[in-house]
Amino acid sequence: MSEHYQKQAYRVSLCTSAVNALLAVFKLAVGFVSSSSALLSDGVDSACDVFSSFIVMIGVKFASKSPDEDHPYGHERFECISSIVLALIIAASGIGVGYAALVKIFSGSMEAPGLLALAVAAVSIAAKEWMFRFTRRTARRIRSDSLMANAHNYRSDVFSSCGVFIGVAGARLGFPALDAIASLVICVLILRSAIEILLDALSKMLDSSIDKETLTQLQELVLKQDGVLALDDIKTRQFGSRYFVDVEIACDGDLSLRQAHAIASRVHDEIEHHFPETKHCLVHVNPYGEEH
């Protein structure tokens, strides 16, 4: 990741951290005053999001380091590690929210929250949706896994805040149990978001292939190149937010070494040009129609 992209990731993380910090303060304060367990739970989630943003910044910083003697292929997988840590923190906050909701339900202490709790929940919905769109847009532009994981976390928070709004509104309409039930719904949404982030990060840590649509586009691009008579094999593996491509092409067996090399170089350059997410591409040439 270039220094320019790194600065963009920092800017997004600092901006969303500031918004989350304000939301956390208001939610916790209003939740405590109005006796809304759903709003308190959402406040805890927003506080965890502040720490999540700093984890993303750390992951981006390490992933942006240039290759060195110990890591000749670069450090992109640090983003996967930060995503795993992020998923664990999100899961821990979700479990805490669920536990607090169950305690309130079984204790039978149900009170209708104040009107201010409803207003804060509405503000949270709008703020979280903005953070999701803002973070996702930047994550796509700089191809950052950990930033994208944080964006999906914010989208989960939108649904959580919707649950808070419904729970608080229901409690004010005479169904106080809905406030605690909303906390349980938030717990489920938080845990689902954590699992999705964790599975995606683990998949990229285990050298999984890229998606089938991109793989098909790669195959079509290779076969369109002049001199390529067949595509014998293509392998891909994800490396953090980028991926490696290994290609075996078949060419006329009577070509000179210089001619075969020129075809392989063209295939290599076209792949890296049309698929900028490619970190490294290796092209091997086989004589057409022979066993290899």
Segment 181-206, tens digit of pLDDT: 877 887 887 788 788 878 878 877 77
Reported as a pLDDT band with limits 50, 70 and 90, residue 265 is very high
pLDDT at 166 over 80: yes
The reported pLDDT for the residue numbered 256 is 92
Which of 33-47, 111-125, 143-157, 218-232 has the highest average model confidence (pLDDT)?
A: 218-232
* Domain 212-287 grouped into CATH 1.10.1510.10: no
- What's the CATH number for 3-205? 1.20.1510.10
pLDDT at 12 over 80: yes
pLDDT at 112 over 70: no
pLDDT at 26 over 90: no
Reported as a pLDDT band with limits 50, 70 and 90, residue 146 is confident
The reported pLDDT for the residue numbered 291 is 58
Reported as a pLDDT band with limits 50, 70 and 90, residue 8 is confident
Three state DSSP letters for the chain: CCHHHHHHHHHHHHHHHHHHHHHHHHHHHHHHHHCCHHHHHHHHHHHHHHHHHHHHHHHHHHHCCCCCCCCCCCCCHHHHHHHHHHHHHHHHHHHHHHHHHHHHHHHCCCCCCCHHHHHHHHHHHHHHHHHHHHHHHHHHHHCCHHHHHHHHHHHHHHHHHHHHHHHHHHHHCCCCHHHHHHHHHHHHHHHHHHHHHHHHHHHHHCCCCCCHHHHHHHHHHHHCCCCCCEEEEEEEEEECCEEEEEEEEEECCCCCHHHHHHHHHHHHHHHHHHCCCEEEEEEEEEECCCCC
The reported pLDDT for the residue numbered 14 is 86
Reported as a pLDDT band with limits 50, 70 and 90, residue 2 is low
d(CA 250, CA 258): 15
pLDDT at 111 over 70: no
The reported pLDDT for the residue numbered 217 is 93
**Residue type at 17 in one-letter notation:** S
pLDDT at 102 over 70: yes
* Region 4-30 average pLDDT: 85
pLDDT at 108 over 70: no
- 207-230: per-residue pLDDT in tens? 678 888 889 999 999 999 999 999
Reported as a pLDDT band with limits 50, 70 and 90, residue 32 is confident
**Residue type at 267 in one-letter notation:** V
The reported pLDDT for the residue numbered 82 is 78
247 - beta bridge partners? 234, 283
What is the residue extent of each domain of the chain?
3-205, 212-287
- 62-82: per-residue pLDDT in tens? 776 777 777 766 666 777 787
The reported pLDDT for the residue numbered 85 is 83
* Region 79-105 average pLDDT: 79
* Region 140-163 average pLDDT: 81
Cβ(160)–Cβ(45) under 8 Å?
yes
Of 122, 117, 120, 102, which is closest to residue 171 (Cα–Cα)? Answer: 117
